Structure 1
Amino acid sequence: MIASNYKASLLALAIAGLLGGCSLEGDDGQDGATGAQGSQGESGANGADGQDALQGIALSVIGRATLNAQGAAEIVQYDVSTNTIYVTNSDTNSVEMVSTAALTTEAMSNPITSFNMTTGTSLALPTEIDGVALAGLTSIALSGDLLAVAVPADNKSDNGYILFYTGVSGSAPVFLKAVEVGNLPDMVTFTPDGTKVLVANEGEPSGDYTIDPEGSVAVIAVADGVPADTASIVDFTAFNNQKAALTAMGMHFPNPEGRTINGVTITTSVAQDLEPEYITTNNETAFVTLQENNGVAVIDLTTLEVSIVGLGFKDWSELNIDAQEDGEVSFGKYAGLYGVYMPDTIAMYTWKDAPFLLTANEGDAREYFIADDFTEAECTAAGGQDFDDGECLAFTEEVKLKNLTAAPGSLLEALQINGDIDDLRVTNALGDTDGDGQYDAAYTYGARSFTIWDQNGLVVFDSGDDFERITASIYGAQFNNGDDENEGDSRSENKGPEPEALTVGKVGERTYAFIGLERMGGIFIYDITNPYDAFFVDYINNRDVTEGLTVDDAIGDLAPESLLFVAAEDSVTGLPMLIAGNEVSGTVAVYGITAL
């Protein structure tokens, strides 16, 4: 089902080497040529136990709360000892606590507009630490009695902090300490044993590229419930001379090398270009998505040695994709069109004691603005790439497919002659294989799917075109909606449904993946008990999709940014739960999970 043009054995060496006590690191010389990745194995035919599990679980909304602010509820965590949901509130720069104590297994009668949970204690965050002004929080994590809060600095050139609070088990967290990490901490998590805190420091550039920090991962040791005063920083400087090799693995480096913006000629190292997004971890190894670069970093948590692998591309000549916004369901298969996986969330689980990784393949383009109040003359003088009604664009890699210069006789030329997907957003940083300014193929953002990868770096399962085909079957032309307004087929030319949130949980003897769609909304459920026989189970979307309604009309839960599975033994209802933080609607939804 999936074609990929990268050398997958590099991921095999990276993961197997780390698990076996050795590592593949930067500056160790280039690897020899490797064989091409084999094609994806076919999904199983749902044998006896597969057929039983096909109707194995059902989800229903049993709880909802609102933060009364659109764009507020992004990241959710759950404290088992107090049955409390912790959720970020970006509107008030606080952490809200929502009790689930009154929830039962009974489904809500009107889950679109009603609420049966309320916020309790609100933890207001400081605005400065040690004289450093802080921006708003980005992420939270819980482990035992500790709450970790990721907060960037307000000044782009300063490092951010992890704020630690203790007293979670008493529902009254108090400030413990702040630990400096890297630039723009965007995600924080604990190892399962609680002995380490891991932080993805994204290190995005400023809008005009005058400041471009290095991306990194911070590791903070925790002993007897007390975090260390300083963090160890895992950086990527060892890979600064390996850009060509990483590109050959299927990675993506779109920064504006050589352009002059505000009088400064841009030079960008690999370490500056890499932007860690999300982390999954066991107690020995961490896996970090490098979303915009289409890669994964693998970190040995004992030695802090790091390896990087590219994820390659998905071939849209073999699968259905709706890449045109014509108000209809318009699927096609296109030779010369590839998807760049660019995963956001990553998760891990085991099968037969072997590790498997799951990625939500959202996609993301690089685009930065110098200012939003310039005249066109001011924008031109500053070296802006584009100007539109005051907005001066410093840089974007995103173009429409029709605006690429096609090489004569290429597959891209055939796509442009056909004209069906002229307005599809693609990157101008891929497809020109010989650097002559003419493109042979087009590469669009994301894979509109989730993927299971084995420890050899091979695709075990990909949901293919399921997300679009299934939502199109349910909604017709109302599919591929945006996340704040019901306008059908409004995202087909721009990453489609955008799978972003992802988590894994076990119900009875079966293991399930739950994938949230940022744009269309809703949650897909797959049985992944056997990764070689993974299959679709159900899709649920707590949203009114009536054409023309907007987020202001209270149309349900919009843009699931994070998902969290709560096992039956940890749930207040005695049955498993799934908690969703819905960013655009500013709501928290709790789904009860019933085994059938």
Structure 2
Amino acid sequence: MYLSQRLSLATAVAVVLGTALPVYSLNAQDTGTPDEEGQNLAQTKRFLSPLQFERIATFPVYLNLDSDSDLKTETAAEIIDVSKDGKTLIYSDSPGGKVGFIDIRDPDNPQPAGTLGMGGEPTSVAVVGRYALVAVNTSHSYANPSGHLSVVDMWNRVEVTTLDLGGQPDSVAVSPDGRYAAVAIENERDEDLDDGALPQAPGGFLQIVDLTGRPTNWRVRTVNLNGLADIAPYDPEPEYVDINERNIAAVTLQENNHLVYVDLTSIDDSDQILNHYSAGAVDLDAIDTVEDDVIRLTGSLSQVKREPDAVSWISRNLVAIANEGDYEGGSRGFSIFHRQSGLKFDSGNSYEHIAVRYGHYPESRSENKGSEPEGVEYGRYGSRDFLFVGSERGNFVAVYRIDGASDPQFVQLLPVTNGPEGLKAIPERNLFVVASEVEDAGEGLRSTVTLFRLQAGQASYPTLVSEGEPPIAWGALSALA
């Protein structure tokens, strides 16, 4: 297997003489539940695609350490992007205070290509032309957040200039036409202060960077996000941002459980915000809600706030969100929203059931947020549209075929190392890349970047897959060595 998981004997499957013996099973039952807007929490269908993503390489990030560094030095890949020619990956390394480069001219054999210090904690990265825009957190306290945008010349591996952002940045995105960048300034809360309760000043906001002329001439504009959300309206905490072809930024306010759409072309404060609405809540049945070393899909949760982390445009008017949760929610799946009319699809418990079905469910997180979907990415490969949803705790990425918003079809599960954080589709080269951030050198667990290629035929991943609904729960394979 590609990953380390906390596994339980109570949920293990023994493979003896070729026979799988499930220790624990459940009877099938109906789990469809309408949410508060009357949308069906549909079970996503399995789609037998003639093309699937095959793992071709895994790059341990510590290979990018300097030759004189201790190989146990903490280093990690979190958010990841690719150069314009598709041959160099760049990733943010928060514990190392730098960005790293990986040569993927031969994606089957990725090579270390060095690092560059950022003078702070890099939290996100996005590429525009020859430049990489790196969001850098330089805060010394929660009450006085600070940060800047570092502009890195990817050809020469040097920092060209920095732009003050006036707060703690968490996500950066570049418009498809290369005219704008948007930076989510979270100004995150102190979870040790009043048990992390909101509001906590200062609130966050969105920064727009006009990418006109040379980087030294770029200018920053601020979008005020106060007074929009029902939850802590004057402490907005923007988490993630993505931009569509019409230069509209979709922004998630995770702790506020809100979605905001911003017109990046407008310089008038009165019409920058096009619309906004709550991300809503979901009723969940047939899930595990007790941490007892046994996966029991008999629990339920009522009106769980989605609290989205990542957001990705999947068409001109539709966005997909990963409902990770961070404050009071986390609905264990993903949703699709129309920019104007709101919710169109919610995965309900089906994402959680995929984790169980493939033996990737993190039972030790059952009383929290389960498989904890954090990342979401869209890519069009030829005429095929794929949606990727990463499970931070289950250590996998679920791949879906999408055709509009109504019926995402599950294609396959991609196993990765612990803590998938950054997802990057590279359709021009038929590649998909995952940055996994968990790093514990003392335990032999290293952060990695995993590369997959879209190709004909079924992907080779030796495993058992539980049939039926709800699935038979299991957590380990033995006797395969």
**Per the shorter chain, which TM-score range?**
0.7 to 0.9
Q: Percent identity?
A: 27
1:38: Cα distance to partner?
3.4
1:560 aligns with 2:444: no
Partner of 2:365, secondary structure, is: coil
Residue of structure 2 equivalent to 1:511: 385
Write the deviation string for residues 522-566 of structure 1: whole angstroms up to 9, x where unpaired.
110111124223211111214xxxxxxxxxxxxxx1111010000
1:153 aligns with 2:138: yes
1:281 aligns with 2:243: yes
Residue of structure 2 equivalent to 1:72: 76
Partner of 1:293, secondary structure, is: coil
- Return closer, same or farther for 1:236/1:82 CA change in 2, 3 Å cut-off: closer
Write the deviation string for residues 199-249 of structure 1: whole angstroms up to 9, x where unpaired.
000012455489722200000101135364541111124x2xx7xxx43xx
**Aligned counterpart for 1:312 among listed residues 250, 274, 280:** 280
**Aligned counterpart for 1:93 among listed residues 97, 101, 122:** 97
Aligned residues: 396
One-letter amino acid matched to 1:312: G
Residue of structure 2 equivalent to 1:292: 255
- Return closer, same or farther for 1:55/1:177 CA change in 2, 3 Å cut-off: same
Is residue 73–residue 89 contact of structure 1 (8 Å, CA) maintained in 2? yes
Is residue 318–residue 339 contact of structure 2 (8 Å, CA) maintained in 1? yes
Alignment map for 1:232-251 (pairs within 5 Å): 232-237=221-226, 239=227, 246-247=229-230
1:118: Cα distance to partner?
3.2
1:465: Cα distance to partner?
1.2
Partner of 1:467, secondary structure, is: helix
1:55 aligns with 2:49: yes
Question: Quick one: distance in 2 between partners of 1:192 and 1:225?
Answer: 18
**Aligned counterpart for 2:361 among listed residues 480, 485, 489:** 480
Greater Rg over alpha carbons, structure: 1
Partner of 2:183, secondary structure, is: strand
Write the deviation string for residues 160-202 of structure 1: whole angstroms up to 9, x where unpaired.
1101122x2x3x2322211111311111111111111110000
- Return closer, same or farther for 1:71/1:211 CA change in 2, 3 Å cut-off: farther
1:120 aligns with 2:113: yes
Is residue 41–residue 461 contact of structure 1 (8 Å, CA) maintained in 2? yes
Residue of structure 1 equivalent to 2:23: none
Residue of structure 2 equivalent to 1:578: 432
- Return closer, same or farther for 1:499/1:71 CA change in 2, 3 Å cut-off: farther
**Aligned counterpart for 1:593 among listed residues 421, 445, 454:** 454
1:323 aligns with 2:289: yes
Partner of 1:223, secondary structure, is: coil
Residue of structure 1 equivalent to 2:107: 103
- Return closer, same or farther for 1:356/1:459 CA change in 2, 3 Å cut-off: same
Alignment map for 1:142-181 (pairs within 5 Å): 142-156=127-141, 157-166=144-153, 168=154, 170=155, 172-181=156-165
1:343 aligns with 2:308: yes
Residue of structure 1 equivalent to 2:178: 194
1:280: Cα distance to partner?
1.1
Partner of 1:561, secondary structure, is: strand
Alignment map for 1:523-562 (pairs within 5 Å): 523-542=397-416, 557-562=417-422
Relative to its length, the structure with more helix (as a share) is 1
Residue of structure 1 equivalent to 2:203: 214
- Return closer, same or farther for 1:139/1:96 CA change in 2, 3 Å cut-off: same
Alignment map for 1:332-481 (pairs within 5 Å): 332=298, 334=300, 337-350=302-315, 354-365=316-327, 427=328, 445-475=329-359, 479-481=360-362
Question: Quick one: distance in 2 between partners of 1:457 and 1:595?
Answer: 37
Q: Which runs of 5+ in 2 are unaligned?
A: 1-31, 63-72, 439-445, 458-481
Is residue 139–residue 146 contact of structure 2 (8 Å, CA) maintained in 1? no
Relative to its length, the structure with more strand (as a share) is 2
- Return closer, same or farther for 1:87/1:517 CA change in 2, 3 Å cut-off: same
1:70: Cα distance to partner?
5.2
Residue of structure 1 equivalent to 2:11: none
- Return closer, same or farther for 1:67/1:43 CA change in 2, 3 Å cut-off: closer
Partner of 1:447, secondary structure, is: coil
Higher RCO, 1 or 2 (CA under 8 Å, sep at least 6)?
Answer: 2
Runs of 4+ displaced beyond 4 Å: 41-44, 206-211
Question: Quick one: distance in 2 between partners of 1:153 and 1:474?
Answer: 41
1:159: Cα distance to partner?
2.8
1:500 aligns with 2:374: yes
Residue of structure 2 equivalent to 1:390: none
Partner of 1:471, secondary structure, is: helix
One-letter amino acid matched to 1:117: P
Is residue 578–residue 590 contact of structure 1 (8 Å, CA) maintained in 2? yes
Is residue 35–residue 41 contact of structure 2 (8 Å, CA) maintained in 1? no
Is residue 39–residue 345 contact of structure 2 (8 Å, CA) maintained in 1? no
Question: Quick one: distance in 2 between partners of 1:518 and 1:41?
Answer: 22
1:71: Cα distance to partner?
6.1
Question: Quick one: distance in 1 between partners of 2:33 and 2:100?
Answer: 42
Question: Quick one: distance in 2 between partners of 1:463 and 1:70?
Answer: 36
Question: Quick one: distance in 1 between partners of 2:219 and 2:247?
Answer: 20
Q: So what's the TM-score if we normalise by structure 2? A: 0.77
Partner of 2:122, secondary structure, is: coil
Q: Which runs of 5+ in 1 are unaligned?
A: 6-36, 105-115, 128-134, 254-269, 366-426, 428-444, 482-488, 543-556
One-letter amino acid matched to 2:151: F
Is residue 43–residue 534 contact of structure 1 (8 Å, CA) maintained in 2? no
Q: So what's the TM-score if we normalise by structure 1? A: 0.62
- Return closer, same or farther for 1:208/1:453 CA change in 2, 3 Å cut-off: closer
Is residue 321–residue 334 contact of structure 2 (8 Å, CA) maintained in 1? yes
- Return closer, same or farther for 1:204/1:471 CA change in 2, 3 Å cut-off: closer
Question: Quick one: distance in 2 between partners of 1:455 and 1:81?
Answer: 31
Is residue 197–residue 221 contact of structure 1 (8 Å, CA) maintained in 2? yes
Is residue 2–residue 462 contact of structure 1 (8 Å, CA) maintained in 2? no
